[in-house]
Amino acid sequence: MPPVVPPFLIGLIVAPLAKRLLKPLVRGVVKTSVGVVMEVKKAAHEAGENIHDLAAEVAADMVAAQIASGDGHRPAENAASNGEKNSASNGEKEDAADRVEGEARTPKIRATAGAGAGKAQ
């Protein structure tokens, strides 16, 4: 009958060997995982910058189109004849009433100075 070796003695012998073999393996897995996460984070940041740049270009094109078509600031056609100024809510109601039924209200776009200029490469 072979000699019986207690399991804790096997554990005492195998543990240091497992540590020597598993530590580099686990380290490699963690290092690779961190590298992948950093690359994904970098790619997401670049995609966000590209979307921001695209949005700024579209906004600039829309502002240029509004300026070219002359839809910028129109003079007030419904000025009070007796010198009194209309309140803002009355002016908005009159503007809405003056619009043709099929005419859509164009959104006002404000160009910001330095849009995209603060981007560091």
Spatial distance between the Cα atoms of 91 and 96, rounded to a whole number of angstroms: 9
Q: What is the pLDDT of residue 7?
A: 81
Query: Hey, what are 8's tokens?
Result: 């804790």
Can you give the pLDDT of all 121 residues of the chain as single tens digits? Answer: 667 778 888 888 888 888 889 999 999 999 999 999 999 999 999 999 999 999 999 999 999 999 988 865 555 544 444 444 444 445 555 555 555 544 555 556 665 655 454 444 4
CB-based contact 86:80 (threshold 8 Å): yes
Question: For the whole model, what pTM was predicted?
Answer: 0.42
- The CA–CA distances, whole Å, from 75 to 56, 57, 111 equal 28, 28, 21
